Amino acid sequence: MGRKIYQFCKLTVGCLVIFAFSNNSFASELDEIVNANKTSFQKIALEIWDLAELGYLENQSSKLLSDELEANGFAIQKGVAGIPTSFIAEYNNGGPVIGILGEFDALPGLAQTNSPFKEVADNNTGAGHACGHHLFGAASAWAAVTIKEWIEQNKIKGTIRFYGTPAEEGGSGKVYMVRAGLFEDVDVVLHWHPDDENSANSRTSNSNKSGKFKFKGISAHAAGAPELGRSALDGVEGMNHMVNMMREHIPQESRIHYVITKGGLAPNVVPDDAEVYYYIRHPEMQVVDELFERVVKIAEGAAIGTETSMTYEVMHGNYSLLPNDTIQKIVHNNLSNLGGIKYTESENKYAKEIYQTLIKPSSEIGSQENVLPFKTTHSYGSTDVGDVSWVVPTAGLRTATWVPGTAAHSWQAVSTGGTSIGLKGAELAAQTMANSIKEIFENPDKIIEAKQELINRTGEEFDYKPLLGDRLPPLDYRKIN
């Protein structure tokens, strides 16, 4: 039968109902609303998966989500914080304001079909949703519509606000939105993320600051007149060498990584233009800033030593995730009640095939049926959700949209995200967020408690200042990568 047996994975509107079974047996008055909107949002998720638009270029993906929310009675504000692909969709019925984050950007160089084999897709962008943001945006909007209809049916005083947030992958889209004050009147924010397991932990992360260091030299014939040249590449290599020596003298929680983005065009020409792109991470924002300044000094020294000139540009910066146990425990309780993801026979066949392509997977097929116990965890990665979490009580969850053992930013994540397995995880996320928001609206004291916890964690004198400073949104992924 070959690979055609996996055609169940490339779902169409007509077969969504056939393969997107309910994730669990947990009864909720929201179930009927969730199910009524299932076909629409699963279709949108798959359309965004097909589009695979890069950060700040997600014009069609953003429009799909904003149009659907507008059709469902939300007021739309587009191009917020100076970003054309950003938007806010709000249903205002007074009362507390609860925000839901939605992402929709893809990653470059990961175009992949939904086969359990590595098959490069032929698309215009050459990109793929290796972090599952097509599911992220669609399921978050699904939850927003569900709560909006529940508010109407039950005449609840409450406002639901969906944030369409571009360019999470290295673009810090949410940071510009926080800096613009778009979260100042929000009481609680929820978010989620695709994963290979189900969890709603009290999660922290590394803060992050990145920069491009550009060296200018003098070109010359590398053999005929090398003494007349000054190599910009020497400046880059000198900088990298000194940064690598610096690693011995930094806090052990730190992470520094780089790529040379320009290094010259021909070996027989002394390069007069070279560039290196750095990421610097640490759990504490102040340490990240300190490490970044040390790297800048190294770059300045490398320029002096190679008789070149150097300029640098801060590309993005993210705060660490700040937990809020008050809200996080509500989310965990609802996820636990709903349960995990169960595969059909066809999905199990697909899962077993793609599982064989994973390198030493840490979890096995079947683990996606469980929900991990509540605990505090730390991720060494970074996210622009971090900046939101320092100004509004924020909580999140992760659901099994990928086969257990799958790494984010991999072709396997792209593949599974375009199947009914990915859609089941998205449905579980929508259900969990909707049930959690319902519980928060019904227990307004939890909002007061969550805000006090935020103050306790940040300190009374906390003043938000973005790590990326006053730079403007680049508006084009190709300018930040």
For the stretch 382-400, pLDDT in tens is 999 999 999 999 999 999 9
Q: Is 403:196 a contact under the CB 8 Å cutoff?
A: yes
Where does the chain hold its CATH 3.30.70.360 domain(s)? 207-318
**Does residue 15 have a pLDDT over 70?**
no
| 425-440 average pLDDT score | 98
Q: How far apart are CA 222 and CA 231, in angstroms?
A: 10
Which two three-digit tokens encode residue 284?
């504490």
Lowest-confidence region among 17-26, 55-64, 65-74, 417-426: 17-26
SS3 label, residue 67: helix
- The edge-to-edge listing of strands for the beta sheet with 207-216 is 255-262, 273-282, 207-216, 309-318
pLDDT of residue 480: 59
Q: Would you give the end-to-end CA distance of the chain in angstroms?
A: 41
Where does the chain hold its CATH 3.40.630.10 domain(s)? 2-205+320-458
Q: How far apart are CA 79 and CA 413, in angstroms?
A: 30
pLDDT of residue 21: 40
Angle between helices 133-154 and 38-51 (to 10 degrees): 160
Which residues are 341's β-sheet partners?
Answer: none
Mean pLDDT of the chain: 93
Which residues are 92's β-sheet partners?
Answer: 159
pLDDT of residue 285: 96
Q: Is 193:136 a contact under the CB 8 Å cutoff?
A: yes
| 445-460 average pLDDT score | 97
Report the candidate in 206, 235, 213 with the shortest Cα–Cα distance to residue 318.
206
CATH number for the domain running over 207-318: 3.30.70.360
To 5 degrees, how large is the angle CA 113–CA 116–CA 118? 60
Q: What is the DSSP string of 4-66?
A: GGGGGGS--HHHHHHH---S-----TTHHHHHHTHHHHHHHHHHHHHH-PBTT--HHHHHHHH
Residue 474's pLDDT band, with cuts at 50, 70 and 90, is confident
* Assigned superfamily of 2-205+320-458: Zn peptidases (3.40.630.10)
Q: Is 8:115 a contact under the CB 8 Å cutoff?
A: no
pLDDT of residue 475: 77
Which residues are 397's β-sheet partners?
Answer: 192
Residue 409's pLDDT band, with cuts at 50, 70 and 90, is very high
